[in-house]
Structure 1
């Protein structure tokens, strides 16, 4: 076995295992072979008389490419313009028999499907008859463009595009840390917390307010650039100054009752 044959087999096995989606867009043709035996010459003209024994019809043009890709194991979607005649129906049947998805074929009313008929007499082609389709109109080109976009997106022609994400894509977005739902608006009457250091989840924590008690440490409030709220904390920052003694002497520990003479 040569290296080229091994490489081809490796490529075929890879395509069959992955099953890629292939969209084929182009001009399709129906190739026919009328096979027979040419035993004599006609009396009306110097032409051989072929006695038909077999008729073969296979997809040609871009349709042949679609059939070959499907034979390799790919999931093929055929996009083309065909006519609503017998040739177009035969071509569609041949593609479906080969496993090609033909839901994106656009049948144009009154149009002709291109076909090439070959008459084989013995071991040679006697004559070939071509039946060609006319140029497409602007409306047919627009239909072909819509069918191409639908085939690439994986939807049927004529169905609207879906903008909502599926449940699977939303679940995948949560795993990646994406926010797929709209964020709720905060009410204006509620105060917005200030941004603080980030926690282990990457979220911003609200910055703590100034300390209200000196027991927690006034230095923390000074480091934040804020003043403590309680008077005890304020007095804690003022250096101790000796107070003058009272002339009345030492006061009792009990405070006098309001309204009674001292």
Structure 2
């Protein structure tokens, strides 16, 4: 007999595949309307870093339902510009349900008392500051919206519109968007740019682990640039943090 957990996960993967089949080819806005209003009503949220391209999904979601939960992980390591940009977008877009999630103080005292864990063990730093708080924030949801795109990095090239992770389904409505698509949406809706984008930061995470991208590099090359790490601990594949190809 197949264990219950395995059966549940197989059923969830099957549902993700069915959702992909049903929604594939729809415009991003239509995918969002379907998942928010029909597929996961009251059980879906947007996880946002308020980074360089975050305004696109935030704008779309705000127009569909400004009360959809927007989960922001405050790791205490963000650029000041990101926090200012977050506050501006919340006000400009009329977002009504921002859920700011913090790492547990006792976990920080135990694992990162001097705030330099990212130097010694970046994976553990992400685990304490992002993964554990995120799991708690998602408890009341069945699905979460991400801004991941196939063209951002080689490690994301085989993504699907709907994916599974642990007990959740993830939807990537901007999966096939290009930099030109993002720029066109910003222009069409007069969205403000993240202040660091003009300084060569197309992907923005925590300040100690993000640098500007050099010419010819992919958009996420500035994240954990001196290691094989490519994901922060929010997104996993087969239960493991994704690594840069050797």
- Give the TM bin, normalised by the shorter chain: under 0.3
Q: Which has the higher contact order (CA 8 A, sep 6+)?
A: 2
Under a length normalisation based on structure 1, what TM-score does the superposition of the two structures give? 0.26
Higher helix share: 2
